[in-house]
Structure 1
Amino acid sequence: MKEKEFDFELNLEFEGNKNPSEVLKQLSSFYDKLLVLDKHILYNISIEAKIEYDLVDIQFGSILTKIKQVFINIPDDVLKDVLNPSSWLGHLLVYIKHRTLKAIESEEVKSKNDLDKLTDDINKKIKENAPSNKMVLSVNNYYILNTINDINIQAKKLKNGEYISFKSGKKKARINNKSFIDMPKILKELGDTTIEQERVEVLKIKTMDLLSDSSYWKLKREGKSIDVRITDNMWLDEYHKRKHVIQPNDYLKLQLKIIYTTSPNKNKPKVTYEATKVFSVIPPDEIEDDGQTSIFD
């Protein structure tokens, strides 16, 4: 298989002998952290699009794995507005992974200003060639801060002299168990803030409140169950009068407001969700599609 410049390698460097099960478990944990980041970035661009990693090669000595990024269900409104969507998305996610890992390697983020710069760089890159007809959500600095912290926690499990190295073309980054970020200091500098983002999304219904006029419904977003407060009182009134028939596993198309409330006393912001407008109920057969297409093929 021909290697593309937006594929990447992840390598566990170590000396001597090492239990192969432990090696693969460590690599898998780092892949999981990077895939969560990729999925969040991609979801901010398009709620329909999906990404997975395909292992295309593995080499031994130290353990080097070569990964192909595979995109699934890229919607037409992205395809028609981007000259080469596979190249754009592939390069974008490689850039963000590398930029984040390089910041960890160099311990770049020592203050709120450093964090803001890193987050701004990522958001500028996302918007640089984003489809003009798409509402693209920015990545907030708390998400980037917690991504760095999660990767650092994983890196602490490496032994002395071991490194996780990332490579894609000329982009390289290398981290070890010395990686450090002063979370309490940066959280204190961030202080108490509220960040709001809003866009139209289509979310799967898990459970619904049949009685309350200001309902909290459980909906599925980015693979997780979330509580969404529906504040569209007109729609709620119609729903309680049985003007909207909802079946199990139906979807709601809605205007979703995402509210991040931060505090220096907590590592992660409190995230709440409101549906300020409900547009329609969509049956699952109009949303779910088992067909998977890689636009890299």
Structure 2
Amino acid sequence: MERILESQTIEGEIGLVIEYKPGKSEAIQVLAGAMQLIDAMDKLDHCLLSSIDSSLEPVSILNDVAHSSLKIILARALRGVPDEHLSSLEWKKWLGSLLVHGKHLLLQKLDADAPEISRTLDQLEPQYRDAPVGLVGYQPPRVSEVQTALDGVRQARVALPQVGVTVQTELGDIVMEEQAQESPVADPTPHSVRTNTGVEFFKIKSTDMLGQSQWQVMRNGKTIKVSMLHRTWLEQYQKRQHQILPGDSLECRYEETVTYDTDQNEMERSLAIVEVLRILSPPAQTSLPM
């Protein structure tokens, strides 16, 4: 049975305000976007705590919801708190303050590049080092971790188009500007497909005793993957009714499919065995007379 870790409330309540359009905004889009944003900020908190103790799991606790705009009041809590810190109010206060300051600085840097994120973490370094008495001073998290966490917040903001979003902290409000959806790089469009068929000898490189198709054969001096479509023969082979030894080849009817783009550049090539005609073994080597 999975053990449910007890949550320990810490300082640092925040407000998340989503200015939806009453009677126009789609409920699922607004609520799903709010959940995605809360999850992204939890992950940002986790990133800020990762250099202190990787077992700490920050969670958002719902304190209140106002409805003029969608205003969600979130308390901060932690799971996985080490036993020695469970009763330490000073430790919880330090962590709560660290998370508030960290989010307040970093949420203003959603579009920041690595050098700017690094400078922001430098601003937080004194607070990491200012741990309660008896604890070793800590370092801020890695830039790469923070950059990934901020990417998650940015994508969550993308999920809330045409509405205002503000994060309220004790240090001031942060207006999160609307983020444009990044256009994915379009893959070349398949333009034409050509299929070749015939009979050919394939030297077996490796077989698949359990699966359905992932065989490897030698063709023109190269190792390629081939789909085995001859299911009856494949089942017989898996039941050991056919024996394939190193160096053996298959004489097969095959089907090869080649996809080209609009400039006639090859995009994809796949090979399938339609029918196994026979297994061929190399000639047996005979010993020379002494």
Moved over 6 A (4+): none
Rounded Cα–Cα distance in structure 2 between residues aligned with 1:135 and 1:180 = 40
Find the counterpart in structure 1 of residue 91 from structure 2.
85
Q: 1:98 aligns with which of 84, 100, 104?
A: 104
Sequence identity percentage? 16
Find the counterpart in structure 1 of residue 71 from structure 2.
64
Find the counterpart in structure 1 of residue 168 from structure 2.
167
Instruction: Output aligned runs, 1:147-166, within 5 Å.
Output: 147-160=149-162, 162-166=163-167
Rounded Cα–Cα distance in structure 1 between residues aligned with 2:150 and 2:139 = 20
* Aligned CA distance change for structure 1 residues 95 and 63 (closer, same or farther; 3 Å): same
Q: CA deviation at 1:83?
A: 6.2
Q: Deviations over 1:214-249 (max 9, x none)?
A: xxxxxxxxxxxxxxxxxxxxxxxxxxxxxxxxxxxx
| Aligned-partner SS, 1:15 | coil
Find the counterpart in structure 2 of residue 208 from structure 1.
none
Find the counterpart in structure 2 of residue 55 from structure 1.
62
Instruction: Output aligned runs, 1:1-297, within 5 Å.
Output: 6-17=12-23, 18-78=25-85, 84-104=90-110, 107=111, 109=112, 111-129=113-131, 132-134=134-136, 136=138, 138-160=140-162, 162-178=163-179
Rounded Cα–Cα distance in structure 2 between residues aligned with 1:27 and 1:45 = 28
Q: Deviations over 1:100-146 (max 9, x none)?
A: 11223xx5x2x543232112223333223356534745311112222
Rounded Cα–Cα distance in structure 2 between residues aligned with 1:171 and 1:151 = 19
Find the counterpart in structure 2 of residue 295 from structure 1.
none
Contact residue 46 and residue 136 of structure 1 kept, 8 A: no
Contact residue 33 and residue 150 of structure 1 kept, 8 A: yes
Rounded Cα–Cα distance in structure 1 between residues aligned with 2:137 and 2:93 = 20
* Aligned CA distance change for structure 1 residues 40 and 71 (closer, same or farther; 3 Å): same
Rounded Cα–Cα distance in structure 1 between residues aligned with 2:158 and 2:54 = 33
Rounded Cα–Cα distance in structure 2 between residues aligned with 1:20 and 1:113 = 38
| Aligned-partner SS, 1:37 | helix
Rounded Cα–Cα distance in structure 1 between residues aligned with 2:158 and 2:80 = 36
Contact residue 13 and residue 76 of structure 2 kept, 8 A: yes
Contact residue 121 and residue 140 of structure 2 kept, 8 A: no
Rounded Cα–Cα distance in structure 1 between residues aligned with 2:156 and 2:54 = 28
Rounded Cα–Cα distance in structure 1 between residues aligned with 2:181 and 2:161 = 15
| Aligned-partner SS, 2:51 | helix
Flag structure 1 segments of 5+ consecutive residues without an equivalent.
182-297
Rounded Cα–Cα distance in structure 1 between residues aligned with 2:181 and 2:29 = 23
TM-score between the two structures when normalised by the length of structure 2: 0.51
What's the RMSD between the two structures over aligned residues?
3.0
TM-score between the two structures when normalised by the length of structure 1: 0.50
Q: CA deviation at 1:38?
A: 1.4
Rounded Cα–Cα distance in structure 2 between residues aligned with 1:126 and 1:35 = 19
Q: CA deviation at 1:76?
A: 4.6
Rounded Cα–Cα distance in structure 2 between residues aligned with 1:112 and 1:175 = 19
| Aligned-partner SS, 2:160 | coil
Rounded Cα–Cα distance in structure 1 between residues aligned with 2:18 and 2:100 = 18
Contact residue 55 and residue 67 of structure 1 kept, 8 A: yes
Rounded Cα–Cα distance in structure 2 between residues aligned with 1:88 and 1:179 = 36
- Number of aligned residue pairs: give it: 173
Rounded Cα–Cα distance in structure 1 between residues aligned with 2:55 and 2:137 = 13
Rounded Cα–Cα distance in structure 2 between residues aligned with 1:95 and 1:56 = 20
Flag structure 2 segments of 5+ consecutive residues without an equivalent.
1-9, 183-290
* Aligned CA distance change for structure 1 residues 24 and 141 (closer, same or farther; 3 Å): same
